[in-house]
Each structure stands twice: as structure tokens, then as C-alpha cells.
Amino acid sequence: MASRGKPTEGRRLVPRLYLVTPEESAGAGDMLAQTIGAADFAAVVLRLPPALEYAKLDHVKAFGPGVQEKGIALLLDGDAQLAVRAGADGAHLSGVEALKAALPSLKPDRIAGCGRLATRHDAMIAGELGADYVMFGEPDSAGRRPSLQAILERVTWWAELFELPCVGFAGALDEVEPLARAGADFVAVGDFVFADARGCAAAAAEVARRIADAEAPR
């Protein structure tokens, strides 16, 4: 997941898409295939079901190849060591301490992303430690997340000051375009895509259309 870089004066760049899978595995393989087939995703974060280690490894082996064969980065949610053993492209970590613990396993060959950054200071520390991207707006373990306005302010602040890519997490379809306009390098989507009554492929295609229509000044 490389940065788009800074544009030339007046140029507007379109963010790329980042997918977070549901934890539930029933039907997840088909839904994942449909979703990544309907839009151009840069990365997929595979959320692991609560299970024994061997079952988690089986989960990655079941879903990972279909992602990586499309040239999409496969990241495991919160498990750097399993990412290495399973041949994933990296891991998405929650908070600065988790990032610190994971970096020796992931660097220099794999991606280390960092989210659940409560403050601007935490985000800057994550960047200084060597995170490959920072994420703003994802839910915490209880499902709580900041207001959209707070997320947009954080994304705008980061995009204006730092080269390191940032991911803006969209909790609903209507949040996609504002995050793109705020300057996110990547827009993350998750549960609302898989729960869409029209089907996950139709939802992913609409997300892509909204991204393409958004002006994202940097």
C-alpha cells in the first residue's frame, strides 16, 4: 500500500479502496469474492474469528489466496505472527503498543498498518515508529467510533501535513465521498457493504462510483 504521493498544483487524485471483512465465516468466501470482483481494492483486512490458532490459520488459507491472486494486499487483523506464518502481506494493528510489538515480526518485508489512534500524538508516534499507514475512524472493540466530523478533521489534518498514507474508515455509504474529499489516500469499507440488501457486489460498485466522483484535494 504505497502512498499516492503529493499531487502537482491543481491535480486531484482518487483514493483507493480498502476492505475490512466481517468476522462471520458463513458465506464469507463467496461474498468476499463478489466484493473484490466488483471494485478495485488495494487491500483486504481479514478479520479472524475467535478460534484456536490452527483454525485461524485454516481461515487465512481458505480466504487469502483469492485475495492475493488479484494483486490485492492481504492483511490480518491484529495478528502479525500469524501473518508471517500464513504468507499474508502484513497486519493491521490496533494502537501504538500493538504496533511496537508487531514491528519486529513484520519489518522489513511486510506491511504494518495502525488504527484505533485516539489522539493526533498517537498517530504521529505510529508514523515515527514505522507504520506503513494510519487509519482514522474505525470502531473500537465495543463498536464505538468518533463522529464523522471528528474523523474528517483528523483525515484533513493528516493529509495536509504528512506524506505517510492515511485510511479513512467509512461506517456507512454516505461517509465514503466526504472521506475522499477530506484527502484520505484510502477509504475503508466493511460491514455495511456485506449487509447491503442489493448484494455486496452492487454495494462495492457504488462505493467505487462515489470515490471516482469525489474531488479529493491534497
Q: 179-215: per-residue pLDDT in tens?
A: 999 999 999 999 999 999 999 999 999 999 999 988 6
Range of lowest pLDDT (5-9, 32-36, 159-163, 193-197): 5-9
Q: Does the structural domain 16-213 have CATH classification 3.20.20.70?
A: yes
Whole-prediction pTM: 0.90
Tell me what the pLDDT averaged over the chain comes to: 91
Among candidate residues 155, 89, 153, 165, the one with its CA nearest the CA of residue 126: 165
Q: Is 114 exposed, middle or buried (0-12, 13-18, 19+ CB in 10 A)?
A: buried
Q: Which of the four pLDDT bands, split at 50, 70 and 90, describes residue 26? A: low
What pLDDT does residue 129 have?
Answer: 98
Among candidate residues 80, 130, 86, the one with its CA nearest the CA of residue 102: 80
Range of lowest pLDDT (14-28, 144-158, 171-185, 195-209): 14-28
What pLDDT does residue 214 have?
Answer: 85
8 Å CB contact between 10 and 82? no
37 has pLDDT over 70: yes
What pLDDT does residue 198 have?
Answer: 96
Q: Cell 461506517: give the residue.
A: 171
